[in-house]
Amino acid sequence: MQTLWLYLLFPQLQLDLAESVAAPADPGPATSTVFPEQPPLPGTAASAFSPAVLLHPQALRVHQANAPARALGILPGQTLAQACALCASLQVLPWQPILEQQLLHMLALDCYQLCADIALAPPNALWLRLDPMLQLYGGLPAFLTQLTQQLQQRPLQYQYGVALTAEAARLLCLSQPGQTVSSQAEQQLHLCSCPVSLLDVAPATLQQLQRLGVQQLGALLALPVAELSRRFSKDLQSYLQQLQGTRPPLLQYYRPPEQFSARLELLYQLEQHAQLHKPLLHLLRQLQHYLQRRDQLCYQLQLVLTLRDATALQLTLQSPQAEALASRWLVLWQLKLEALRLTAPVLALELSAAQYCPRDTDSEDLYAGRRGQYTPLQLVGLLQAKLGAARVCRPLQLAAYLPEAAGISAPLQPQALSQLRQSATVPATPVMPLVQQTPATYQARTDKQISQEAPHRPAFLLAQPAPLQQPVQLLPGLERIQSQWWQGLSSARDYMTAQSQDGRWLWVYRTEQQQWFIHGVFA
Amino acid sequence: MHWDSSAYRALPDVARIRPLFFSVSLLQQHQEDLYCINKQYFGISMQLSELKQQGYVWCLNESPSPQQALSPTGYAELDQLLGGGWPTQQVIELRTAFGIGEFRLLLPYLQQQVSRGKLQVYINAPAQLHAPFLSSQGLPLWQQLDIQAKDHEALWAAEHCLKSGCCSSVLLWQSSLNIARLKRLQLAAAEGQAELFLIRPAGPTQLSLPVGLSLALFAAPQGVEVRVLKRRGGWPGAQQLINFSSRWPRLVQPQAVKAGAAGRCQDPTARTTTLTPVAI
């Protein structure tokens, strides 16, 4: 079966994209630059107007130069002194291979929307296998239109070549950018004019070929295979076989990351939490993009703030309501960051997400006329972010004998929240509205229920029983609660209802030592 | 405008002005004042008739304004006192000591709100809510939210809970509050269709707030004595005993039980005991 490959090369990957990705760090709150919704179009990037180069940090030579710099005669490979001599106002940035790799992964993720089989070709190119996808798009031109549209969303220079094998696509992209071939004969024709120096083989082999006087690929391919194998190493053999499609290419296909993680190096050191909002929003937008592509939501985010001369600060934010929208997450983060005291300036932010779930649409009551802003879970998330998770509690009833153990107030836990989620979706048990009953029937019903089923308990329980230090009037009715007799710490409490002089209804008890305590308030 | 025979009061936004009872001629003089108030508090110039239509100004010799939505309190006496029930989507102030029956006064209303399937939030409750009591009263625990927060954070939480649209009622125990804060809470309550019960300690020095309804509660042997301190669209000063003896037979003084509800499961020979403090 015939394969079809596209080789996509980004000659100035870091130079094109680094600024648009790392831009949004505001130096201060006074400058109110609005971060653009869309990255600027190609040609409008700031680097397109002023000459800029990337400097290889070890060799101290120009690694990449943008178009204005090249127009001034600055070429990759020149020393810094040469480049500076050609342009005094040259902007020099260090070449960061790690950043470039991140950018390449980002582009691979972009292209993954269009093509399933992608292989990375570090440092700055991608292979796309097209033949399984063409049926979807209805031909190569339609696919290329889609790809161009996708790539033009970023201020990016790119070139490509399409051929029947991966290696041939690379050679075509490098020698004749934009060339597409669709048959073996056509490919052979175009490859013949390729210079040998572009071949991806060991430098020694290249030198050997040049000494033989083989300048173009056509000449190399014309040589008999037996002769070649006698004079050259096996690597060239297998390379040529890959080039001609008789041997499959050794490529590792790209798989999109299971977990979202994005890092943003700031251009300025930030010292106040309010300044973090803009860069954070940038990361959250990436997250939103990531989640929306997968039709997913996420519950938990982790933010690592890299600090100057201090250990990194790690923050975790849990939202009971799974969210994808950057704006929703930003509100929670703002509340969380308000409570934060930065001990040192922030150099970089890293956002990672955990706990994903598929997005399921809420089933709201269409006729209830929803007017509020939040769902119950969003409200809980908001309160937890502002007040701290320990302060947002729910009363819980436990199967315990002692009153202080039977009813506790516990912070909302994720498992408890899932219960809230379930109960929220299940329609509430139909309770006859009070309006339709006369007060008498309602009272009779509740009265019977309460007196028969539930023990006499107060609405509020004091955290610690308080000694009774005021005259009270005891009411008839006594309940003995024998505590922990099965553990050997037996003590009996006689509970009674009492009313204090100022009319408060108290739940008091008497210990065996005739000491009196207030344990609850009926309110 | 046919307001010659009527006395007018502007509430709640001018609540700091003591209740004024205008004679006809005095009212003519105060017409300008009303417009000033109107401009100051509503920011727009409205005719008196418009104000009246929207319930900001009313005639006290007429029945309470029908625009106000009310929901029954569960106590016949209280419904009668309030002209139908609790005003909805408003801030309702209760001036009360802790423990005299104020929560039981709200309980039928909270039970009624359960069917809406929304949250009920308790902010800064003076003691821990006892879950067995709540569930025995038919309040599902998943709907209850217990929040402890500092002063200004409590107000923040109350505002967001009210605004969220997923809370049916919010109970806030808060002693200090200014008018601007209250106004925010009122708007939030209207936005989220929720009620805020603002429970403040009783005290003569407290600032009177522009709330829709303000009640003072006093302990009584057979229930709770309720006095209307302020009420939108009605006279203040009415007082009524809310009898708990049928609903809460064990939480009233026994002699009232004998007189009121016969045949209850109370021991008729039972006597109350007075206990004086013992040094521990």
The token duo for A330 is: 């930003």
- Is residue A370 over pLDDT 70? no
Domain boundaries, chain A: 5-30+46-50+89-244, 262-358, 458-521
Q: How far apart are CA B146 and CA B148, in angstroms?
A: 7
Domains and CATH numbers, chain B: 8-59 (no CATH), 70-257 (3.40.50.300)
**CA B167, B171, B174, B175 torsion-angle sign:** positive
The arithmetic mean of pLDDT across residues B27-56, rounded, is: 60
Residue B248's Cα: distance from chain center in Å? 21
When CB atoms are compared, the residue of A380, A461, A521 closest to B99 is: A521
Instruction: Confirm or reject contact between A139 and chain B (CB < 8 A).
Output: no
pLDDT, tens digit (0-9, with 9 covering 90-100), for A135-147 = 888 888 999 999 9
When CB atoms are compared, the residue of A387, A458, A515 closest to B149 is: A387
Whether B72 sits inside 8 A of A521 (CB atoms) is no
Between B59 and A455, where is the model more confident? A455
Q: Which residues pair with A253 in a beta bridge?
A: A119
- Is residue B108 over pLDDT 90? yes
The arithmetic mean of pLDDT across residues A291-318, rounded, is: 88
Q: Which residues pair with A300 in a beta bridge?
A: A318, A354
pLDDT at A450: 44
When CB atoms are compared, the residue of A420, A430, A523 closest to B102 is: A523
Q: How far apart are CA A18 and CA B200, in angstroms?
A: 58
Long-range contacts for B205-208 (Cβ within 8 Å, ≥24 apart)? B206/B95, B206/B175, B207/B177, B207/B178, B207/B179, B208/B15, B208/B16
The token duo for A511 is: 């210990």
> Which residues in chain B are contacts of A428 at CB distance < 8 A?
114-117, 140
The token duo for B89 is: 């989507």
Q: Residue B251 gets which letter from DSSP?
A: G
pLDDT, tens digit (0-9, with 9 covering 90-100), for A79-101 = 888 888 888 888 888 888 888 88
DSSP notation for A344-413? S-EEEEEEEEEEEEE-------SSS----S--HHHHHHHHHHHH-GGGEEEEEE-S-SSHHHHEEEEEPP
Alpha-helical (H) ranges within A199-354 are: 203-212, 217-222, 225-231, 234-244, 277-294, 326-338
- Is residue A508 over pLDDT 90? yes
Sheet with B167-173: list strands edge to edge: A407-411, A392-397, B144-147, B119-123, B167-173, B195-200, B91-95, B213-220, B223-231, B239-243
A332, A435, A460: best to mutate for the B interface, most B CBs within 10 A: A460
pLDDT, tens digit (0-9, with 9 covering 90-100), for A463-481 = 899 999 989 988 888 888 8
- Is residue A309 over pLDDT 70? yes
The token duo for A408 is: 């506790």
pLDDT at A292: 86
Pairing state of beta strands A346-358 and A460-467? unpaired
> Which residues in chain A are contacts of B274 at CB distance < 8 A?
471-474
- The answer to whether the peptide bond before residue B12 is cis (omega within 30 degrees of 0) is yes
pLDDT, tens digit (0-9, with 9 covering 90-100), for B174-192 = 888 888 889 999 999 988 8
Sheet with A313-323: list strands edge to edge: A261-270, A346-358, A296-307, A313-323
Q: Are B119 and B166 in contact (CB under 8 A)?
A: yes
pLDDT at B146: 93
The token duo for A257 is: 């990351």
Q: How far apart are CA A518 and CA B127, in angstroms?
A: 12
Q: How far apart are CA A71 and CA B174, in angstroms?
A: 71
Average pLDDT score over chain A: 80
Residue B162's nearest CA partner among A364, A417, A372, A319 is A372
The token duo for A427 is: 């329609």
Q: How far apart are CA A243 and CA A293, in angstroms?
A: 35
The arithmetic mean of pLDDT across residues A250-260, rounded, is: 86
Q: How far apart are CA A264 and CA A332, in angstroms?
A: 20
Lowest mean pLDDT: which of A136-140, B60-64, B65-69, B261-265? Answer: B261-265
Domain range A262-358, its CATH number among 3.30.1490.100, 1.10.1050.10, 3.40.1710.10, 1.10.150.570: 3.30.1490.100
pLDDT, tens digit (0-9, with 9 covering 90-100), for A98-113 = 888 888 988 898 888 8
The token duo for A456 is: 């006499």
Instruction: Confirm or reject contact between A339 and chain B (CB < 8 A).
Output: no
pLDDT at A51: 83
Q: What percent of chain B has pLDDT over 70?
A: 68
pLDDT, tens digit (0-9, with 9 covering 90-100), for A381-394 = 888 888 888 899 98
Q: Residue B132 gets which letter from DSSP?
A: H
- Is residue A258 over pLDDT 60? yes
Sheet with A117-121: list strands edge to edge: A117-121, A125-129, A5-9, A159-163
Most confident of A46-55, A355-364, A513-522, B57-66: A513-522
B130, B136, B141: best to mutate for the A interface, most A CBs within 10 A: B130
pLDDT at B106: 93
pLDDT, tens digit (0-9, with 9 covering 90-100), for A119-166 = 998 888 999 999 888 888 888 899 999 999 988 888 888 999 999 999
- The answer to whether the peptide bond before residue A123 is cis (omega within 30 degrees of 0) is yes
The arithmetic mean of pLDDT across residues B40-47, rounded, is: 58
Whether A372 sits inside 8 A of B102 (CB atoms) is no
Three-state DSSP class for residue A446:
helix
Residue B229's nearest CA partner among B243, B249, B209, B247 is B209
Q: What percent of chain A has pLDDT over 90?
A: 15
- Is residue B63 over pLDDT 50? yes
Whole-angstrom CA distances from B131 to A400, A419, A466, B108 are 12, 17, 20, 17
- Is residue A172 over pLDDT 80? yes
Q: What percent of chain A has pLDDT over 70?
A: 83
C-alpha distance from B167 to closest chain A C-alpha (Å): 8
pLDDT at A371: 57
Residue A393's nearest CA partner among B194, B141, B111, B260 is B141
Q: Are B97 and B202 in contact (CB under 8 A)?
A: yes
A397, A453, A513, A518: best to mutate for the B interface, most B CBs within 10 A: A397
Whether A409 sits inside 8 A of B136 (CB atoms) is no
Residue B193's nearest CA partner among B71, B41, B102, B94 is B71
> Which residues in chain B are contacts of A475 at CB distance < 8 A?
250-251, 253-254, 270, 272
pLDDT at A330: 92
pLDDT at A36: 37
Give contacts of B 129-188 with A, CB under 8 A: 129-138, 140-142, 144-149, 153, 156-157, 160-161, 163-167
A332, A334, A377, A379: best to mutate for the B interface, most B CBs within 10 A: A379
Most confident of A208-222, A425-439, B229-243: A208-222
The token duo for A425 is: 């979706």
**In this prediction, does ipTM exceed 0.90?**
no
pLDDT at A427: 38
Lowest mean pLDDT: which of A257-266, A369-378, B162-171, B236-245? Answer: A369-378
Confidence label for B258 from pLDDT (cuts 50, 70 and 90): very low
Q: Residue B187 gets which letter from DSSP?
A: H
Residue A18's Cα: distance from chain center in Å? 19
In sequence order, the 6+-apart residues with CB closer than 8 A to the CB of A522 are: A458, A459, A460, A497, A505, A506, A507, B99, B101, B103, B104, B251
Q: pTM of this prediction?
A: 0.65
Confidence label for A449 from pLDDT (cuts 50, 70 and 90): very low
Residue B264 CA neighbour count, 13 Å, CB half: 25
Residue A158's nearest CA partner among A177, A134, A139 is A177
Pairing state of beta strands B213-220 and B223-231? antiparallel
Q: Which residues pair with A479 in a beta bridge?
A: A495
Whether B254 sits inside 8 A of A477 (CB atoms) is no
Between B35 and A191, where is the model more confident? A191
Three-state DSSP class for residue A74:
coil
What backbone torsions phi and psi does residue B131 show, to the nearest 5 degrees?
Answer: -60, -45
Between B15 and B145, where is the model more confident? B145
Whole-angstrom CA distances from A187 to A142, A164, A209, A217 are 21, 7, 22, 12
pLDDT, tens digit (0-9, with 9 covering 90-100), for A59-68 = 888 888 888 8
Whether A397 sits inside 8 A of B72 (CB atoms) is no
Confidence label for B27 from pLDDT (cuts 50, 70 and 90): low
CA–CA–CA angle A109, A113, A118 (5° rounding): 60
pLDDT, tens digit (0-9, with 9 covering 90-100), for A235-251 = 888 999 888 888 888 88
Whether B127 sits inside 8 A of A521 (CB atoms) is yes
